[in-house]
Amino acid sequence: MYTIAAGIDTDVDRARRIAEEIAELPIDGREAVLVHSFGENREGASIDQIGAARRARELLESHDVDVTFEERSGDAAAGVIDVAESYDAALICVAGRKRSPTGKAVFGSVTQDVILNTERSVLVCGD
């Protein structure tokens, strides 16, 4: 099984881009582990309640990709990397968002943090 850990936030368009890229990979036996990190989760929400995650799962399953949901609390990049390590994922998949260099410096970039803090291959999905 070729395992892909994919970071999913609440943006449906980014989740769709990730799912489409994974679905189009020319690899048999793909498994996608969709990861959502809750910053603070006082209400006890789950990834099943995230519309973007559900949409990505539907798209992937329609392309015969096995899907597992994983949720974490805290830093999003650390959550994706942790899940990738737990599943021994061959690939991490994330979708960047358009930000100015100043915006990245001020708000940070999950995509950049993932790339810089893992030795696994990372696929960054664009528009």
Whichever domain contains 113, its CATH number is 3.40.50.620
- Output the average pLDDT for the chain: 89
pTM strictly above 0.75: yes
Which of 81-114 are b and which e, b meaning 16 or more Cβ less than 10 Å from the residue's Cβ?
bbbbeebebbbbbbbbbeeeeeeeeeeebbbebb
Structural domain count of the chain: 1
Where is average pLDDT lowest: 16-25, 35-44, 115-124?
Answer: 35-44
The per-residue pLDDT for 5 is 98
Domain that holds residue 77: 2-125
Residue % of the chain over a pLDDT of 70:
88
In tens, the pLDDT along 6-19 reads: 999 999 999 999 99
Q: How far apart are CA 19 and CA 64, in angstroms?
A: 12
CB distance 15 to 45 below 8 Å: no
Indicate the residue type of 15.
A
Centre a 10 Å sphere on the Cβ of residue 30 and count the other Cβ atoms it contains: 21
